[in-house]
Amino acid sequence: EQGAHPDAAVRSTDSDALVSRASAAALGYFADPFSSLFLSPQQRRTLDRRPPLIHIGTHARTWAVDSLVARFLDPNVGPHHPVQVLSLGAGTDTRFWRLRKQWADAGKDWNCARWVEVDFPEATTAKARTVSTKPDLRSALGGDVKIEQGGLALSSPLYTLLPGDLRSLSALSESLLSPSTSPTFGAPLSPSLPTLLLVECVLVYLEPAATDALLSWFALTWGADGGAGGAIVEYDPFGLEDQFGAVMRRNLAVRSISLPGAASTPSLASLTERLRRAGVRGETGALSVRQIRDRCIDADEVERVARIEQLDEVEELNLVLEHYAVAWGNLRASSEEEGQGED
């Protein structure tokens, strides 16, 4: 698009994620009654064009990220205290509502004091409008719902949506931690509760220096000695220096999307090294989505998913899944965590 804002292309990547999620959910890959509520009429029309490969990949990455977030929220496995989740570049992600529903269906107490999402103002304005007007979304927020900052932000007891630019760290930190952010609810996040940072398919769009600064800020705020502790979960492409990466970049260049972050993620190991460099001191790990599908997801579930659609391009599927990874890190080693459960 001529004259479009330079960030418009990056913002459009959420539309792909949303359509893939809604399309996979509609076919029964996983339960997500919420994604379709965010679809525009135009996105609704493109739903049936997603190939099986995208559905299978979306299922596997969602499974992995869900499992890690669920562990953190489970007081028997993760921290014993109430926790917080900070999802940066959240787009139209529905994980908050999906997990709330899973917890309610299982009769479990919701252990997450605050779930905070940040994205560009264009994204948060649209999401705030949808969340505040759809009863199925609004009813999960724990009470009073306020649209704030002239429509850019939404606050409620359990869930906060804030506009921000991940490259402007001091403004971001201020709005997340300052009591003046919301006239009704005060600071979105507390530095004294264990906090999970979720960055799902976001860091690849940032310059490596911006990612390092962001991860270091998080590790310092919650992971420093005497801090509340927490963890980081990320999903990103990696190893894009090969032929596959060249094709992917060419396809994205047509849409003016570049992947500056890929320069710092040549391998799986580079993902965990990046976390450690930022100050993550506890257990770290990274698995490709292919490894997640082959080794972690129950065989019954892999089989169930394989039966949903006919997949002819098995090699292509594996090639794609080998280029995406989920990585995680505990801010501090379990022995350092006061009152935290064992890993």
Nearby residues of 244 by Cβ (< 8 Å), 6 or more positions away? 319, 320, 323
Q: In the 8-state DSSP scheme, what is residue 110?
A: P
- Is 14 near ligand SAM (CB under 6 A)? yes
Nearer to ligand SAM among residue 187 and residue 210 (C-beta): 210
- Is 201 near ligand SAM (CB under 6 A)? yes
> Cβ distance 84 to 114 under 8 Å?
yes
Q: Is 239 annotated as a binding residue?
A: no
Under DSSP, is residue 35 helix (H, G, I), strand (E, B) or coil? helix
> What b/e readout covers 148-173, taking b as 16+ CB neighbours within 10 angstroms?
bbeebbbbbebbbbbbbebbebeebb
Q: Which residue is nearest to ligand SAM (CB)?
A: 89
- Is 17 near ligand SAM (CB under 6 A)? yes
Task: Give DSSP secondary structure letters for 246-272.
Answer: HHHHHHHHTTT---GGGGG-SSHHHHH
- Is 200 near ligand SAM (CB under 6 A)? yes
Identify which range of 160-168, 187-195, 213-221, 288-296 contacts ligand SAM by CB under 6 A.
160-168
Nearer to ligand SAM among residue 116 and residue 228 (C-beta): 116
- Closest separation between CB of residue 10 and ligand SAM, Å? 5
Whole-number CA gyration radius for the chain? 19
Q: Is 61 annotated as a binding residue?
A: yes
- Is 32 near ligand SAM (CB under 6 A)? no
| 120: its two tokens | 């560009």
CA atoms within 13 A on the CB side of 94: 25
Q: Is 197 annotated as a binding residue?
A: no
Q: Is 122 annotated as a binding residue?
A: no
Interior angle at CA 259, CA 115 and CA 64, nearest 5:
45
The residue within the footprint of ligand SAM, chosen from 66, 74, 165, 273 (CB under 6 A), is 165
Under DSSP, is residue 2 helix (H, G, I), strand (E, B) or coil? coil
Identify which range of 29-37, 185-193, 201-209, 275-283 contacts ligand SAM by CB under 6 A.
201-209
The residue within the footprint of ligand SAM, chosen from 91, 194, 230, 239 (CB under 6 A), is 91
- Is 197 near ligand SAM (CB under 6 A)? no
Nearer to ligand SAM among residue 17 and residue 224 (C-beta): 17
Q: What's the count of helices (H) and strands (E) in the chain, helices before strands? A: 13, 9
The residue within the footprint of ligand SAM, chosen from 78, 89, 194, 229 (CB under 6 A), is 89
Beta-strand runs (E) in the chain = 83-88, 112-119, 146-148, 153-155, 159-163, 195-200, 230-237, 284-288, 324-330
Number of residues that bind ligand SAM (CB under 6 A): 19
Nearer to ligand SAM among residue 112 and residue 202 (C-beta): 202
The residue within the footprint of ligand SAM, chosen from 120, 238, 324, 328 (CB under 6 A), is 120
Q: Is 273 annotated as a binding residue?
A: no
Q: In the block, which residue shows the tokens 């257990």?
A: 283
- Residues annotated within the binding site for S-adenosyl-L-methionine are 61, 89, 165-166, 200
Q: Return residues touching ligand SAM (CB under 6 A).
A: 10-11, 13-14, 17, 89-91, 93, 119-120, 123, 165-167, 200-202, 205
